[in-house]
Amino acid sequence: MRYILLLTLVLIAMVAYRQGSAKLLTGSEVYPQSVSNENNRLGLPPLPIPVNNPQTPAKIALGDKLFHDKRFSVDGTVSCSKCHDDKRAFTDGLPVSVGHHGLPGTRNAPTVLNAAFNHSQFWDGREPDLEGQAKQPLINPVEHGLSNHNQMLEIIRTDPDYLSAFQSVFAVNAKKLTIDHVAQAIASFERTLVSGDSPFDRYYFKGQTGALTEPQYRGFQLFIGQGRCVSCHTIEQNLALFTDGRFHNIGIGINQIQQDIPRLTQAFLEAKNKGENVDKIVLTDKKTSELGRFAVTKELSQVGAFKTSTLRNIELTAPYMHDGSLKTLKEVMIHYNNGGVNKAGEQVNAFLSGGIRPLNLTDEQMNDLVAFMKALTSAQYAIPNRSQ
């Protein structure tokens, strides 16, 4: 069925290309800003909202405040927004995030933008939803560094503004307040951080043929063709999340620890059996972090596998990959073009996902793919006067 879908996409694209070829050849159009503001969700599915956590303006405002509050950390410097910075498309621009007292973690901060659509949260999917995710960094030893959630609740309980907000949103007093209320408020705020309406969306879902530049258009053809990107960074008929929500070993991070894998997997399983916390292990031990999804499922076929990240707003979220090891989108293209290694000819890891293989793209084709990535930036986050 997917082949049929892919074929359909290609046919649609071909028709669209023909219709728009005259415009494409005469140069790109400037998209009027006013139209984009009408619907910044163009290209996105309906927002999934848990039945037990409906969105309300007051709850969203409370979540916003909690998200940006540095007091919920052992040294008073770490808020959620430290690593998910509003000004950096809700990332931190660092290879791996840095927590309290400058302690480095092991993984690159993923954007919160459109995280509401994820099938699972964290690079290894160890939490199913935003509510579950929000609770973990607070008590991780290299992030907010609190010993337990109660430390956070104590701060809230001594803050009259918070108390009245929780009272009005959840109808709970200081005594009945739990970390789940906190998580629900933060998750509600994060569900407002959704953004479609990129040049790609206007081209693909509205048929605005001038929305893409010529290199972007060529890049799109490669994206669904020779580059094989769409296999995991999915585009559907009426929406595009640019992720399959699955976990794949693409040769990042794992390539550097191949000799250690038998020792690491055994040590990890023993630690997990003894009740060690996965969140803590994977963010404090660089090598164990590279086991990826295996740390969650214990499935051998998931060694070194990480979640497919969305490509929406990817231009704004460098550096790339779960360990932030690739600085530019071009470096990412080169890695994939080499079939899962940074440098052509290096040995790929034994657990590499089946879909990763050399692509035989030329340098110009890779540049076109990078151009296409830059057509995935939402209008509301677009960089003005970008050199193209």
> 305 with 298: CB under 8 angstroms?
no
Min CB(378)–another protein separation in Å: 29
- Examine residue 160 and tell whether it contacts another protein (CB under 8 A): no
Segment 324-343, which members bind another protein (CB under 8 A)?
none
162 contact partners, CB below 8 Å, separation of at least 6? 62, 65, 156
Shorter beta-carbon distance to another protein: residue 160 or 345: 345
Among 299, 346, 363, 364, binds another protein (CB under 8 A): 299
- Examine residue 231 and tell whether it contacts another protein (CB under 8 A): yes
- Examine residue 237 and tell whether it contacts another protein (CB under 8 A): no
Cα(356)–Cα(353) distance, integer angstroms: 6
Cα(320)–Cα(308) distance, integer angstroms: 12
| Cα angle, residue 43 at apex, residues 38 and 44 outer, rounded to 5° | 95
Among 260, 357, 367, 380, binds another protein (CB under 8 A): 357
Min CB(268)–another protein separation in Å: 11
Segment 260-279, which members bind another protein (CB under 8 A)?
261-262, 265-266, 269-270, 273-275
**Interface characters, 303-322, with another protein (x: CB under 8 A):** x-------------------
# of chain residues touching another protein (CB under 8 A):
25
Express the helix, strand and coil content of the chain in percent, nearest 5 each: 45, 5, 50
Shorter beta-carbon distance to another protein: residue 171 or 300: 300
Cα(138)–Cα(148) distance, integer angstroms: 8
Between strands 247-248 and 306-307, the pairing is: antiparallel
Q: Which of 58, 188, 49 is nearest to 112 (CA)?
A: 188
Please give the residue ranges that form the binding site for another protein (CB under 8 A): 1-3, 231, 261-262, 265-266, 269-270, 273-275, 298-301, 303, 350-355, 357
